[in-house]
Amino acid sequence: MRALITGITGQDGSYLAELLLAQGYHVSGTVRKNSPTSNIEHLRSQIALLETDLLDRDSVMSAVRQAAPDEVYHLAAKTFVPSSHEDPQSVIEFAERSVGNLLAALKGLTPPNPPGGPEGDRNLKFFHAASAEVFGDATESPQSESTPFHPRSPYGEAKVVGFELTKQARARDGIFAVSGILFNHESPRRGEKFVTRKITRGAAMIKLGQAKSLELGDLDARRDWGYAPEYVDAMHRMLHAESPEDFVLATGRTHSVREFCDIAFSELGLDYRDYVRVNSEFVRPPEAMQLVGNSAEAKRLLGWEAQLPFAELVKRMVNHDLALLRDSSLRSPS
């Protein structure tokens, strides 16, 4: 089997590449010019990297031809929600064009859909990473596959656009094309601006005497936080389900930023109350309705369920950051 992953250098892309390689896949990934590659450094000899402009139809077609995939996982996106407010148009345009170009390339490479054929009867499969942000100011809680979309950020709007294009390709072109509506999922490879990694890195720096305090936004904000390697497993399961369907992927439980801080600092023998300060720069307006996912359908049809307990996730991340910072200060003593 052959897979093409867009966003292979990101948190999810790198875990997915590991999972597929372990299953014997040939793995290709699209990269931008000058993409940071630290997450995939250890895989470099086992994967093919294709420099691709996902906004450009010819560039996408060429990448898809070279990769000759059975499965395409579209994970590339500008994922940090606050940044999406800075240039909303480009975030939405990226979603529209990248999903559109990939689906057009797949359509071009697959035989025509037999008239009246069932949804998703072609061989080539497409996974699109959507997000809990599609629910935004949700109208109900918890959110499931039947909850109406109500995005409240350009990032959320972009994910709705990708979702709809994917759904159309399934209904109209018979492509096995699905979206995973992924709630927050974290790991030691999470970007440093996201609150979880910001906390674990900040706590580790304080422990090592490299920082004195940590500035955060709303400590009472709550999120449904899962463990990223489990979510890429769900993506793979979705492409091997009997029929193409969209799924909500979540733990079904929420925790506050404060609880996250408490566990992370305690793991290092510290009390977060001595170090964490609130800075209004990082405060966002709270959601009217809590964002928390209901993954009953994923459990029923994919046999998937989030596993790693929350405290374990926090401890893994903070211990990883501690080791990383210790290691880099040993290599470059100041």
Interface residues with ligand GDP (CB under 6 A) are 81, 184, 193-196, 198, 216-218, 221, 223, 257, 282, 284
Q: Which is nearer to ligand GDP, 64 or 132 (CB)?
A: 132
Residue 57 beta carbon to ligand GDP: minimum distance, rounded to whole angstroms: 29
Smallest separation (angstroms) from ligand GDP to the CB of 108: 34
Q: How far apart are CA 267 and CA 324, in angstroms?
A: 16
List of residues 6+ apart from 20 with CB closer than 8 A: 1, 3, 5, 27, 236
Nearer to ligand GDP, 125 or 201 (CB): 201
Percent helix, strand and coil across the chain, each to the nearest 5: 45, 15, 40
* Identified catalytic residue from 15, 25, 73, 155: 155
Closer by beta carbon to ligand GDP, 74 or else 223: 223
* 295 tagged catalytic: no
Residue 138 has which token pair?
A: 């949700």
Question: Which of these, 86, 77, 245, 249, lies nearest to 158 by C-alpha position?
Answer: 77
Two structure tokens written together for 116: 């009246």
Query: How near is the Cβ of 85 to ligand GDP at its closest, in Å?
Result: 11
Q: Which residue is nearest to ligand GDP (CB)?
A: 217
Q: Label residue 274 exposed, middle or buried (CB < 10 Å: 0-12, 13-18, 19+).
A: exposed
For ligand GDP, give the closer residue by CB, 47 or 204: 204
CA distance 291 to 161: 20
Q: Which is nearer to ligand GDP, 35 or 194 (CB)?
A: 194
Whole-number minimum distance, CB 119 to ligand GDP, in Å? 31
Any catalytic annotation for residue 155? yes
Spacing of C-alpha 25 from chain mean position: 21
HSE toward the beta carbon, residue 26, CA cutoff 13 A: 8
Q: Which of 14, 131, 153, 179 is catalytic?
A: 131
**Residue by residue, what is the 3-state secondary structure of 90-119?**
HHHHHHHHHHHHHHHHHHHHCCCCCCCCCC
Minimum Å distance from CB 236 to ligand GDP?
Answer: 22
Q: How far is the CB of 192 from ligand GDP (least distance, A)?
A: 10
- The helix (H) or strand (E) run that includes residue 207 is helix 195-207
119 belongs to the catalytic site: no
Count the neighbouring beta carbons within 10 Å of the beta carbon of residue 36.
Answer: 11
Nearer to ligand GDP, 64 or 263 (CB): 263
Active site residues: 131, 133, 155
